[in-house]
Protein backbone atom coordinates (compact mmCIF):
# COMPACT_ATOMS: atom_id res chain seq x y z
CA UNK A 1 0.00 0.00 0.00
CA UNK A 2 1.21 3.46 -0.86
CA UNK A 3 1.50 6.06 1.87
CA UNK A 4 2.27 5.87 5.54
CA UNK A 5 0.98 2.96 7.61
CA UNK A 6 1.03 2.36 11.34
CA UNK A 7 0.60 -0.88 13.21
CA UNK A 8 -1.01 -1.99 15.34
CA UNK A 9 -3.99 0.37 15.18
CA UNK A 10 -5.10 -0.65 18.65
CA UNK A 11 -3.06 -2.13 21.47
CA UNK A 12 -3.82 -2.91 25.10
CA UNK A 13 -0.91 -3.77 27.34
CA UNK A 14 0.03 -3.86 31.00
CA UNK A 15 2.29 -1.65 33.04
CA UNK A 16 5.92 -2.66 32.72
CA UNK A 17 5.64 -4.45 29.39
CA UNK A 18 7.60 -3.50 26.30
CA UNK A 19 5.57 -2.30 23.34
CA UNK A 20 6.70 -1.40 19.83
CA UNK A 21 4.63 0.70 17.45
CA UNK A 22 5.57 0.38 13.81
CA UNK A 23 5.60 3.04 11.12
CA UNK A 24 6.29 2.45 7.43
CA UNK A 25 6.27 4.96 4.56
CA UNK A 26 6.57 4.28 0.85
CA UNK A 27 7.67 7.70 -0.39
CA UNK A 28 11.33 7.57 0.70
CA UNK A 29 10.78 10.77 2.66
CA UNK A 30 13.87 11.80 4.58
CA UNK A 31 12.12 13.08 7.70
CA UNK A 32 9.95 11.03 10.01
CA UNK A 33 8.27 11.96 13.29
CA UNK A 34 6.43 10.47 16.23
CA UNK A 35 3.78 12.50 18.04
CA UNK A 36 1.42 11.65 20.84
CA UNK A 37 -2.06 13.12 21.04
CA UNK A 38 -3.70 13.78 24.39
CA UNK A 39 -6.78 15.80 25.27
CA UNK A 40 -5.88 19.38 26.06
CA UNK A 41 -2.34 19.03 24.74
CA UNK A 42 -2.82 18.68 21.03
CA UNK A 43 0.08 16.82 19.46
CA UNK A 44 3.45 16.71 21.16
CA UNK A 45 6.63 15.62 19.44
CA UNK A 46 8.32 12.56 20.94
CA UNK A 47 11.18 11.89 18.51
CA UNK A 48 12.10 12.75 14.98
CA UNK A 49 14.56 11.54 12.39
CA UNK A 50 16.22 13.46 9.56
CA UNK A 51 17.50 10.35 7.76
CA UNK A 52 18.43 6.73 8.34
CA UNK A 53 20.55 6.38 11.49
CA UNK A 54 19.88 10.01 12.52
CA UNK A 55 17.37 10.53 15.33
CA UNK A 56 16.79 13.23 17.90
CA UNK A 57 14.57 13.99 20.86
CA UNK A 58 11.44 16.09 20.73
CA UNK A 59 9.47 17.64 23.59
CA UNK A 60 8.47 14.46 25.46
CA UNK A 61 11.05 11.70 24.81
CA UNK A 62 11.26 10.14 28.28
CA UNK A 63 10.30 6.48 28.34
CA UNK A 64 10.54 6.06 24.56
CA UNK A 65 13.22 4.69 22.24
CA UNK A 66 13.40 4.96 18.45
CA UNK A 67 15.58 3.57 15.71
CA UNK A 68 15.84 4.13 11.98
CA UNK A 69 17.97 1.53 10.27
CA UNK A 70 16.04 1.93 6.99
CA UNK A 71 14.63 5.11 5.48
CA UNK A 72 11.12 3.68 5.24
CA UNK A 73 10.73 2.43 8.81
CA UNK A 74 10.65 4.33 12.10
CA UNK A 75 9.56 2.12 15.02
CA UNK A 76 8.75 3.58 18.44
CA UNK A 77 9.40 1.41 21.50
CA UNK A 78 8.08 1.87 25.00
CA UNK A 79 10.63 -0.10 27.00
CA UNK A 80 8.53 -0.35 30.17
CA UNK A 81 5.03 0.98 29.59
CA UNK A 82 3.38 3.23 32.17
CA UNK A 83 -0.23 4.36 32.46
CA UNK A 84 0.77 7.89 31.56
CA UNK A 85 1.76 6.57 28.14
CA UNK A 86 -1.85 5.72 27.33
CA UNK A 87 -2.40 7.87 24.28
CA UNK A 88 -2.91 7.96 20.54
CA UNK A 89 0.40 7.89 18.68
CA UNK A 90 0.84 9.37 15.22
CA UNK A 91 3.70 8.82 12.85
CA UNK A 92 4.37 11.39 10.11
CA UNK A 93 6.85 11.96 7.32
CA UNK A 94 7.98 14.84 5.13
CA UNK A 95 10.33 15.51 2.25
CA UNK A 96 13.68 17.14 2.76
CA UNK A 97 13.36 19.92 0.19
CA UNK A 98 13.34 23.48 1.42
CA UNK A 99 10.02 25.28 1.50
CA UNK A 100 6.81 24.85 3.45
CA UNK A 101 7.27 21.76 5.53
CA UNK A 102 4.17 19.64 4.96
CA UNK A 103 3.83 16.58 7.19
CA UNK A 104 1.78 13.59 6.08
CA UNK A 105 0.33 11.54 8.93
CA UNK A 106 -0.54 7.92 9.46
CA UNK A 107 -3.93 6.86 10.82
CA UNK A 108 -2.63 6.53 14.38
CA UNK A 109 -2.10 3.80 16.97
CA UNK A 110 -4.28 3.88 20.06
CA UNK A 111 -2.39 2.47 23.04
CA UNK A 112 -3.96 1.64 26.39
CA UNK A 113 -1.71 0.76 29.32
CA UNK A 114 -3.54 -0.94 32.20
Partner 1 sequence: GDSVTQMEGPVTLSEEAFLTINCTYTATGYPSLFWYVQYPGEGLQLLLKATKADDKGSNKGFEATYRKETTSFHLEKGSVQVSDSAVYFCALSGNTGRRALTFGSGTRLQVQP
Q: Phi first, then psi: what are they for 71, rounded to 5°?
A: -55, -35
Binding of partner 1 at residue 43 (CB under 8 A)? yes
Binding of partner 1 at residue 45 (CB under 8 A)? yes
Here's the x/- map for partner 1, 50-69, by CB under 8 A: it reads as x-----x-x-----------
Closest CA to 57 of 72, 68, 47: 47
Least distance (Å) between residue 15 CB and partner 1: 26
- For partner 1, the binding residues (CB under 8 A) are 31, 33, 35, 40-45, 48, 50, 56, 58, 90, 92, 94, 96, 99-108
Amino acid sequence: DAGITQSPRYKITETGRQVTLMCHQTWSHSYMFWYRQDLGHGLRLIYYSAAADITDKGEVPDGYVVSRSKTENFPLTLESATRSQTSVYFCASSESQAGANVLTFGAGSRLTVL
